[in-house]
Structure formats: structure tokens, C-alpha cells
Amino acid sequence: MLKTQLDDQFKGGLNPWFSIWTKPRDTMKEVFQSSPKGVFLLFLAGAFVQVLDRAAQRHSGDSMNSLTGLIMTCIISTLIGAATYYYLVPVMLRWVGSLVGGRGTTERVRYSLAYSYIPIAYSLVIVWLPSLLLFGIENFTTNTPVVDSSTTLTLLFFLFGIIDLVIGIWAIIIFLKCLGEAHQFSAWKALLTTILSILIFVGPLIVIGLLVVVSMG
């Protein structure tokens, strides 16, 4: 449904589901001309994978016995994260980008962020769906007795982890290219824009945290 809805509105000669991997700037040029709808679905897919990755890294399954309950928690977090990335992050990246010479609109920045999630959407299908079926709750636990008991499962667990890592790194590169195209500047300036945006967002939180610690001390 996600692929069909986006493809139907993409009027250029490139198919973004394939071209985004090697031609992110050319893909975004056609996206900007087509102004496709339904991009929020990409935010949902991307946010869901990021939430699953974070839950795995934090071993969230150690405190939850139910895979269903953990997935439901991830879905709720996904809705919050997708809304944040759809409404707030593009505004921040547009504003900070303009400070370093960018000319992108909030809509174009939103498209660049959405389409850079396409590799992450692939990760949902080729990594997380089979991982959930094969490993279940052990995707999110410190101890993995079922996986450890099988050489095949251990190798698959490691392989899926490598694939997820490679896709994640490539998705970052694609995002910087897409954001650079939205702002009409280099990927390096896109990286600077991203770092500054993170600092602007995280900085006040760090200051507040330090003030709380000092006041409690």
C-alpha cells in the first residue's frame, strides 16, 4: 500500500524505491516537482524501525515478558516519533539550514527527510519482519538461549544485525544528500545543519538537567 500510494503520484522517470539508493539528488528533484502525497507513511515506517532498533539496543525485553506488549509500546512510540519528525524536525532543519545558506522550504525539507526513510522501510521488510518471526522476544533481551542453542539462528541473528547496520549507515548518507538537495547546498553543509539542529535541541535539555542536578545537590 505504501509503495503503491507513493508510486502513483510520482510522475518523473525515476522510481524512488530504487533510485534513492544511488541517485538521491536526482530523485529529490523529481519529488519536488511531483509533490507526492502519503509521505507520512514513510515517516511511520522509518520511525517504527528506529524504535525497534532502540528497543533492541536497550534490551527492553528484559523488563517485559510479552512480545505483543513490547510491540504495542513500540507502536505508541512510533506514532509520537513520526509526528515529531513530520511536523517539528523539518521546521528546525529548514531554519538552521537557512542560517548556513540553505534555500529550502519546510515542505521540501520534509520530503527530503521522508524519502531518506526508504532504505529504512526496506530494513523493516528484510530485517525486522523475519527477525521477529525467527527470534521473537530475544531480539530485545540480554540473554538469548534459543538463538544460542542453534548455529543457524546465531548466524542469521548476526547477519540481520550487519544488514541493519549497513542500511542504517547508507540511509544517513542518503539523508544528507536529500537534505542538501532541498537546501541547494552540499552534503557537508547538510551534515553541519543536522549537527547544529541536534545541538540546539539537546543543548537546553542538558542545561536543564545540570540545573536540576545542581539544585538537588
Tens-digit pLDDT string for the chain (217 aa): 555 555 555 555 789 999 999 999 999 999 999 878 889 999 999 999 999 999 999 999 888 878 899 999 999 999 999 999 999 999 999 999 999 999 999 999 999 999 999 999 999 999 999 999 999 999 999 999 999 999 999 999 999 999 999 999 999 999 999 999 999 999 999 999 999 998 888 777 666 656 655 666 5
| pLDDT of the residue at 11 | 55
| pLDDT of the residue at 12 | 57
Distance between CA atoms of residues 7 and 147, nearest Å: 38
| pLDDT of the residue at 37 | 82
| pLDDT of the residue at 3 | 56
The H or E element containing residue 133 is: helix 129-135
**CB within 8 A of 101, min separation 6: which ones?**
183, 185, 189
**Do 111 and 85 touch, CB atoms closer than 8 A?**
no
Residue 193, CA distances (Å) to 16, 98, 110 in order: 24, 9, 14
Shortest CA distance to 53 belongs to which of 154, 167, 181? 167
Q: What is the DSSP string of 143-154?
A: --HHHHT-HHHH
**Do 127 and 206 touch, CB atoms closer than 8 A?**
no
Domain ranges of the chain: 2-216
Distance between CA atoms of residues 127 and 162, nearest Å: 10
DSSP code at position 13: S
| pLDDT of the residue at 56 | 92
| pLDDT of the residue at 212 | 59
Residue 198, CA distances (Å) to 108, 142, 195 in order: 19, 30, 5
Question: C-alpha cell of 166?
Answer: 549497513
| pLDDT of the residue at 201 | 80
**Do 90 and 110 touch, CB atoms closer than 8 A?**
yes
| pLDDT of the residue at 214 | 63
The H or E element containing residue 95 is: helix 89-99
Distance between CA atoms of residues 31 and 41, nearest Å: 15
| pLDDT of the residue at 49 | 94
